[in-house]
Structure 1
Amino acid sequence: MENKAEKPINILIVEDQVLLRESLEKLLEAQKDMHVSGTLSYAADALDFCRKKKPHLILMDVLTSDSLSTSDGADETEHSRIQINGIEAALDIRFEFPDIKIVIMTAFPEITFIDAAHHAGVQSFIYKSISSDTMLNIIRNTMGGYSVYPDRIPRELVKTPKFTEREIKTLRLLAQAKTRKEIAAALDTTEGTLKAIITGILNKTGYDNIMQYVVHAVSSGIISPKG
């Protein structure tokens, strides 16, 4: 009796950086046990793709552009869209398709992403700095029913003191050019407390101007305004 070959893992890649997306596609397609069933630039398109193609696993970036897209590149329009990140998309996908495995990836060392991924029911979480072999092993292990999460931020990504979630949110809001009054409201606190939060950030970083640090943090990948 002939042994039937196991079906390959059908994988959807969601990554808005073209070069990285194409590199990932080539890497996965080169594996005998993997097949790329589709690629997307935007996390907001992932759920609709799952409804049509039902991949086995999704390899998805935490942060993708929130511009409107079409999967085939045709007839793009300029309609507005609610911004959705990879973890929010994962939550929707897990609710509708609990059997689809999800691996979230990021280049940002934000401490909030790992906790958010856990809460969304994401099976595995990786940093883009890992080796190709490690990524392939994590994909296979995830399909095998294992959950893989980092126990620490990679050394090469550690560029900042450890911030609290409130400090990170403050930095992100500052990066969005919000006023201090708007930031205090978003944090559900007073402007006096906000001033103390900013002072704490400056003390941790050694900067004497918060906006100078915000520029550094965004350009270095320490925070993302879109988070």
Structure 2
Amino acid sequence: MIRVLIVEDQRMIREMLEQYLRRENGYNVCEALERAEYAPDYCFYHRIDLVIMDICTEGKMNGFEASAQIKQKKPNTKIVAVTSMLDSGFLECGRENGVDSMWYKDLSAETLMSVIERTMKGESVYPDKVPEITIGHAVNYDFTKGEIRVLRLLVQGKTYKEIAAELNISPDTVKEHVSNMLSKTGFKSKLQLTIEVVSKKMIVPNV
């Protein structure tokens, strides 16, 4: 019997995951937690084979940070991260923090079950890329890596000067990146741009 811990802050999704896994043969849902920060200690004091981990929960710790701590204490515990956020940086961040597999909530429950089964067999299952997102007249794949790096810091409310210092580029280069993104999207201001990318879940602040 595979012992499962669910970490999900949305009650409806948490209950759906519990019900779904309990209908599957061979899975025992031991606990369902609202906050990622509680997961490392729970895994330390209980035998857990699989964690279904939401990335963005309330509290002191996000799902990536919790996953890293779980892997430090219990390296054999499998972790499948689930998220509705379409931030491309999540894929890299997941791998860096020991997440075995990644699944988008907008996909079907059958797809999640397939990811879980493959993960428990030792596979690492990640999407090749995030789904396409429309941002004004552009899509997320129209932005360069440099533009995305600038955009992440814009979303955090940093000034051009602060962004330039953090990325080790000139303020003029920052302005050029922002100008290019506004041209691609058709937006009139960087405020409009940042509001749109956050609302479309393309960039997740402070994760």
> After TM superposition, is the score higher than 0.5?
yes
- Give the 3 Å change call, closer, same or farther, for CA 186–85 of structure 1 in structure 2: farther
Q: 1:122 aligns with which of 75, 93, 99?
A: 99
Unaligned runs of 5+ in 2: none
Partner of 1:130, secondary structure, is coil
| Alignment: residue pair count | 202
How do 1:70-219 and structure 2 match up within 5 A? 81=60, 84-154=61-131, 157-159=132-134, 160-162=139-141, 163-219=143-199
Q: 1:57 aligns with which of 50, 54, 62?
A: 50
1 or 2, which has the higher helix percentage?
2
Cα distance per residue 1:129-158 (max 9 Å; x no partner):
21111111211121111221112323xx53
Q: CA deviation at 1:31?
A: 1.4
The equivalent of 1:74 in structure 2 is none
Partner of 1:104, secondary structure, is strand
Q: Read off the aligned partner of 2:158 and give its amino acid letter.
A: K
For residues 115 and 60 of structure 1, what CA distance do their matches in structure 2 show?
16
Q: Are the equivalent residues in 1 in contact too, given 2:102–2:127 (CA < 8 A)?
A: yes
Deviating more after overlay: 12-21 vs 157-166: 157-166
Q: Are the equivalent residues in 1 in contact too, given 2:82–2:104 (CA < 8 A)?
A: yes
Q: CA deviation at 1:166?
A: 4.0
Deviating more after overlay: 32-41 vs 157-166: 157-166
Q: Are the equivalent residues in 2 in contact too, given 1:10–1:55 (CA < 8 A)?
A: yes
Q: Are the equivalent residues in 2 in contact too, given 1:161–1:204 (CA < 8 A)?
A: no
Q: 1:14 aligns with which of 7, 11, 25?
A: 7
- Give the 3 Å change call, closer, same or farther, for CA 182–221 of structure 1 in structure 2: same
Deviating more after overlay: 53-62 vs 198-207: 198-207
Unaligned runs of 5+ in 1: 1-6, 68-80
Partner of 1:141, secondary structure, is helix
The equivalent of 1:24 in structure 2 is 17
For residues 43 and 71 of structure 2, what CA distance do their matches in structure 1 show?
11
Q: TM-score, normalised by structure 2?
A: 0.88
Cα distance per residue 1:165-206 (max 9 Å; x no partner):
443343233223233333333323332221122122223322
